Homo-oligomer: A and B are copies of this chain.
Amino acid sequence: MKLGMIGLGRMGANMAQRLMRGGHQLAGFDPKPEARKNLEDKGAESADSLAALVAKLPAPRTLWLMVPAGEITDGTLTNLLRLLAAGDTVIDGGNSNYKDTLRRAKTFADKKINYVDCGTSGGVWGLAEGFSMMIGGDEAAVERLRPIFETLAPAKDQGWGRVGPVGAGHFTKMVHNGIEYGLMQAYAEGFSILQHKSEFSLDLHQIADIWRYGSVVRSWLLDLTAAALEKNPAMTGIAPYVDDSGEGRWTVAEAIDLNVSAPVITLSLLERLRSRDADSFSDKLLAAMRNQFGGHAIKKE
């Protein structure tokens, strides 16, 4: 199958490469010449504009977006809408908010262009191990893309599926990431407790490695944690600063909209916010209050 990949960053390039290894033909577009060059070196065609990319694809065309969620996705889609025709298919493989997906899908539906959302997990390991894909969209459109998904997935019939109508893929991926926050935080807290128990001088990497086999907490994230602890057991040089890329916030907001209490996912997000606020105003105010009512000493800044 021939596919146009839009966005040749780390994720897009990896997916393109995995598809080529699986026998698919690839044409790629990215505004950065070096990203295009990189893809060409691996045997694919490249195009220096969306229009040129579209021209390289046989009808009905299949285009896979792997660009940052938000404005860039919107801009790209606006341009694509003008270039494509009824029967073509666009897949948004990025981390779009499912509400944006629902909105965008409508404009494509008006032109009878298939719009498919594919929540993609696997990170930098997807090239080697395959990607996990939660797909939303019209059944026939998804079925037509089967060869693509079978190649990107870890195995032909594993790690991918159409989970519902358009939007359902990104929704499911959003919740996936919310869970991911919770899992990560649970491990981080546990290892922090171990690390603080100085009387036992525990070797965190050893413990992570023991747990990888036979324990109830074994997981892929634990494998990665073990690797991180092996490389840098004391986390030297790493700031206690944890970024977030949006899906956690959306999950928390969605849970509340659905009247679902999700304390662990929510607190995992809040801990990330807290990690970036070294100068917490609320903690200063608490110290000031304690001083007010109890005369408790305030630590000076």
Contacts and interface: CB of A to CB of B under 8 A. Distances in A.
Given A159-B214, A288-B232, A179 B186 contact: yes
Interface string A208-226: 0111111111111110110
A109 interface: no
Interface in A168-208: 168, 171-172, 175-197, 200-203, 206-207
Interface in A210-247: 210-222, 224-225, 227-229, 232, 235-243, 245
Contacts of A194: 172, 175
Nearest to A258: B196
A10 interface: yes
Nearest to A270: B261
A62 interface: no
Given A159-B212, A189-B182, A249-B256, A271 B283 contact: yes
A198 to B, nearest CB: 9
A195 B281 contact: yes
A179 to B, nearest CB: 4
A140 interface: no
A153 interface: yes
| Contact-residue bracket for chain A | 35 or more
A222 B289 CA distance: 9
A280 B192 contact: yes
Given A241-B299, A283-B271, A289 B215 contact: no
B267 A130 contact: no
Contact of A218 (B197, B220, B279, B297): B220
Contact of A178 (B190, B255, B293, B298): B190
A279 B240 contact: yes
Contacts of A126: 214
Given A164-B202, A224-B292, A285 B123 contact: no
B189 A260 contact: yes
Looking at A160, A260, A265, the one whose CB has the most chain B CB atoms below 10 A away is A260
Given A124-B295, A238-B288, A263-B270, A282 B215 contact: no
Contacts of A168: 200, 202
A100 interface: no
Interface of A: 10, 121-126, 129-134, 136, 153-155, 158-161, 163-165, 167-168, 171-172, 175-197, 200-203, 206-207, 209-222, 224-225, 227-229, 232, 235-243, 245, 249, 251-256, 258-301
8 contacts: A158-B212, A159-B210, A161-B210, A191-B281, A192-B281, A242-B283, A260-B282, A272-B286
